[in-house]
């Protein structure tokens, strides 16, 4: 399902170290199974809330060694039993080893509650509202650092809708950039049915909505008027966004209340 090969495309910033713990997610109505690294998917606040609800924000120093908690340099873990405190994984490994030598129960260095074996997780989380194909694109981006090549407009739009839902702005930026690149290469805009998907799956101010408007404004005058004239295919919100964008462009060309200029424009 996932090709780990790094593909050409838009790169994202260096991801967190993946850690040892994996999770299983059943995505979509068909419950397609994905197994992946928890630390990686929890870069998304949406998944962090589901998978690590007790975890505190990663900041400051490790309570054991008092060195910075930097997930790009050292693997981190946290107390999933009680306090949610963050630690270097190596520090916790040493802590557990020392407790074992003294034949003591392993407890969290902060809250002193029993330390859970956070490598083992047999739970499968079901997320039926997410699109499995779009999630596969997101997962490829997380692991490979780039999008799969040659995605169609529909797949890119569905991926962006998922990206907004799971609060992954860098992923959304990559998707929109790829969508614009595809439209320029093909010399065509997404079908109006795909615009429906973009608008019904996002909220006002969405980058994807803005992309739809910008792309459609670059149609020839005849094609643009055909789109406006087809009430059945055009969402009201999209139509108003197009008209607002046209009005903003018009402001740059308005001659103002200059009688001579107005007459020249009308009578020429």
Flag whether 48 is in a domain.
yes
Q: Which two tokens stand for residue 153?
A: 């407009």
Residue 260 lies in a domain: no
The whole-model pTM stands at: 0.80
The least confident of 5-19, 65-79, 167-181, 222-236 is: 5-19
19 and 54 housed in the same domain: yes
Identify which has the larger pLDDT, 230 or 4: 230
Same domain, 166 and 241: yes
- Exposure on the CB side of residue 221, measured as CA atoms within 13 A: 0
Instruction: Supply 202's token pair.
Output: 């996002």
Domain shared by 104 and 147, yes or no? no
Q: Report the distance separating Cα 29 and Cα 27, nearest Å.
A: 7
Instruction: Looking at the structure, tell me whether residues 104 and 162 fall in a common domain.
Output: no
Number of domains in the chain: 2
Q: Which of 125, 143, 163 is the last residue of a domain?
A: 125
* Backbone Cα Rg of the chain: 25
The separation between the first and the last C-alpha atoms of the chain, rounded to the nearest angstrom, is: 63
| Per-residue pLDDT at 3 exceeds 50 | no
**Residues of the chain above pLDDT 70, percent:** 85
Q: Is 183 found in the same domain as 104?
A: no
Answer yes or no: do 87 and 199 share one domain. no
Q: Domain containing 24: what range? A: 12-125
If asked whether residues 156 and 60 sit together in one domain, one would say no
Task: Report pLDDT digits (tens) over 188-209.
Answer: 999 989 999 999 999 999 999 9
**Are 141 and 108 part of one and the same domain?**
no
Mean pLDDT lowest among 43-47, 236-240, 247-251: 247-251
pLDDT tens-place string over residues 60-118: 999 999 999 998 888 899 998 889 999 999 999 999 999 888 877 789 999 999 988 76
Contacts of 195 (CB under 8 A, 6+ apart): 212, 216, 235, 238
Are 137 and 247 found together in one domain?
yes
Checking if the pLDDT of 4 tops 60, the result is no
The answer for residues whose C-beta is within 8 angstroms of residue 254's C-beta and 6 or more apart is none
């Amino acid at each position: 399902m996932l090709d780990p090969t790094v593909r050409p495309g838009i790169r994202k910033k260096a991801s967190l170290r993946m850690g040892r713990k994996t999770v299983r997610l059943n995505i979509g109505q068909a419950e397609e199974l994905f197994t992946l690294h928890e630390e990686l998917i929890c870069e998304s606040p949406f998944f962090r809330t589901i998978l690590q609800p007790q975890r505190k924000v990663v900041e400051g120093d490790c309570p054991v060694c008092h060195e910075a908690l930097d997930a790009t340099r050292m693997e981190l873990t946290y107390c999933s039993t009680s306090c949610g405190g963050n630690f270097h994984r190596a520090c916790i490994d040493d802590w557990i080893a020392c407790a074992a030598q003294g034949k003591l129960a392993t407890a969290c260095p902060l809250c002193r509650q029993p330390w859970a074996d956070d490598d083992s997780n047999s739970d499968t989380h079901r997320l039926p509202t997410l699109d499995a194909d779009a999630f596969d694109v997101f997962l490829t981006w997380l692991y490979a650092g780039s999008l799969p090549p040659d995605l169609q407009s529909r797949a890119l739009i569905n991926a962006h809708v998922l990206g907004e839902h799971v609060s992954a702005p860098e992923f959304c930026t990559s998707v929109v950039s790829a969508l614009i690149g595809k439209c320029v290469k093909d010399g065509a805009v997404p079908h109006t049915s795909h615009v429906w998907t973009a608008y019904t799956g996002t909220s006002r101010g969405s980058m994807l909505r803005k992309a739809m408007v910008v792309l459609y404004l670059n149609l020839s005058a005849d094609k643009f008027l055909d789109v406006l004239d087809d009430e059945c295919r055009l969402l009201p919100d999209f139509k108003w966004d197009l008209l607002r964008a046209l009005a903003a462009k018009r402001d740059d060309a308005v001659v103002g209340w200059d009688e001579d200029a107005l007459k020249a424009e009308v009578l020429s």
